[in-house]
Structure 1
Amino acid sequence: MVGDNTNPQPVVGDNTKEREQRSPLLPIRHQADFFVCDVFDAAVKGDAASMEHPIFSLSKKPDMKPRRYENGSSWVEVRPGFKGLATVFDRDILIYCISQLMAALNDNRTVSRKLRLRAHDLLIATNRDTSGRGYLQLREAFERLQSTQIVTNIVTGGKETFDVFSLIDRARIVRETREGRMQEVEIDLSEWVFQAVEAQEVLTLDRRYFQLAKPLERRLYELARKHVGQQASFKIGLEKLRLKCGAQSTLKEFRRLLQSIIDDDAEHNHMPGYRILLDGDMVEMRGKPGNETTPPPSIYRLQEETYAQARELAPGWDVHALESEWRSWCDKKKIRPGWADRHFMAFCKRRGKYPGFKV
Structure 2
Amino acid sequence: MCEVTIDRSPLLPDRHPQKDLFVCDIVDAVPKGDMSSMEHPVFSLSTKPDMRPRKYERGGNWIAISPSSHGLATVHDRDVLIYCISQCMAALNEGRKVLRTMRFKAYDLLVATNRQTSGRGYELLKDALRRLQGTQIETNLRQGGKEYFKVFGLIDSAEIVKETRDGRMLDVEITLSDWVFDAIENNHVLTLNRKYFFLRKPLERRLYELARKHCGTQPRWLIGLDTLRDKCGSGSTEKEFRRLIGKIIEDDEAHGHMPDYVFSIENDNVVVRPKKKEVIPPLPSSTLCFKDEDATYARAKRHAPGWDIRGLEGEWREWVRKKSIPIQNPDANFLSFCKARGPYK
Give the TM-score, by structure 2 length. 0.81
Which residue of structure 2 lines up, in the alignment, with residue 120 of structure 1?
Answer: 107
Equivalent residues, number: 300
Which residue of structure 2 lines up, in the alignment, with residue 84 of structure 1?
Answer: 71
Question: Within 2, Cα distance between the matches of 1:51 and 1:311?
Answer: 37
Please tell me the root mean square deviation across aligned C-alpha atoms, in Å. 2.7
Q: Contact 2:68–2:136 (CA<8 Å) still a contact in 1? A: yes
Q: Among 12, 17, 28, which residue is 1:26 paired with?
A: 12
Is structure 2 residue 251 aligned with structure 1 residue 307? no
1:277-330 Cα deviation digits (max 9, x unpaired) = 10110111110004xxxxxxxxx5x47xx23349969x98847866xxxxxxxx
Q: Would the alpha carbon gap of residues 157 and 181 (structure 1) be closer, same or farther in structure 2, given more than 3 Å must change?
A: same
Letter in 2 for 1:285: V
1:103-152 Cα deviation digits (max 9, x unpaired) = 11111111110010100000000000000000000001000000000011
Q: Among 1, 15, 29, which residue is 2:4 paired with?
A: 15
Letter in 2 for 1:132: G
Which residue of structure 1 lines up, in the alignment, with residue 95 of structure 2?
Answer: 108
Q: Contact 1:310–1:319 (CA<8 Å) still a contact in 2? A: no
Which residue of structure 2 lines up, in the alignment, with residue 6 of structure 1?
Answer: none
Q: Among 189, 194, 201, which residue is 2:176 paired with?
A: 189
Q: Contact 1:34–1:41 (CA<8 Å) still a contact in 2? A: no
Which residue of structure 1 lines up, in the alignment, with residue 239 of structure 2?
Answer: 252
Q: Contact 2:55–2:64 (CA<8 Å) still a contact in 1? A: yes
Letter in 2 for 1:259: G
Which residue of structure 1 lines up, in the alignment, with residue 116 of structure 2?
Answer: 129
Question: Within 2, Cα distance between the matches of 1:317 and 1:177?
Answer: 45
Letter in 1 for 2:177: S
Q: Identity across aligned pairs (percent)?
A: 56
Query: 1:1-359 counterparts in 2 under 5 A?
Result: 15-16=4-5, 19-20=6-7, 22-32=8-18, 37-290=24-277, 302=279, 306-309=281-284, 318=319, 348=324
C-alpha displacement of 1:238? 0.5
Q: Which runs of 5+ in 1 are unaligned?
A: 1-13, 291-299, 323-347, 353-357
Q: Which runs of 5+ in 2 are unaligned?
A: 289-315, 329-336, 338-345
Question: Within 2, Cα distance between the matches of 1:34 and 1:275?
Answer: 33
Q: Contact 1:56–1:85 (CA<8 Å) still a contact in 2? A: yes
1:60-85 Cα deviation digits (max 9, x unpaired) = 00000000001111110000001100
Q: Contact 2:283–2:321 (CA<8 Å) still a contact in 1? A: no
Question: Within 2, Cα distance between the matches of 1:219 and 1:191?
Answer: 23
1:318-345 Cα deviation digits (max 9, x unpaired) = 47866xxxxxxxxxxxxxxxxxxxxxxx
Q: Contact 1:233–1:284 (CA<8 Å) still a contact in 2? A: yes
C-alpha displacement of 1:185? 0.7
Question: Within 2, Cα distance between the matches of 1:264 and 1:144?
Answer: 30
Question: Within 2, Cα distance between the matches of 1:227 and 1:172?
Answer: 35
Larger CA Rg, structure 1 vs 2: 2
Question: Within 2, Cα distance between the matches of 1:186 and 1:179?
Answer: 20
Report which stretch shifted further, 114-123 or 157-166. Answer: 157-166
Report which stretch shifted further, 193-202 or 156-165. Answer: 156-165
Question: Does the residue aligned with 1:172 lie in a helix, a strand or coil?
Answer: strand
C-alpha displacement of 1:34? 11
Q: Would the alpha carbon gap of residues 265 and 319 (structure 1) be closer, same or farther in structure 2, given more than 3 Å must change?
A: farther
1:47-103 Cα deviation digits (max 9, x unpaired) = 000000000000000000000001111110000001100000000000000000001
Question: Does the residue aligned with 2:73 lie in a helix, a strand or coil?
Answer: coil
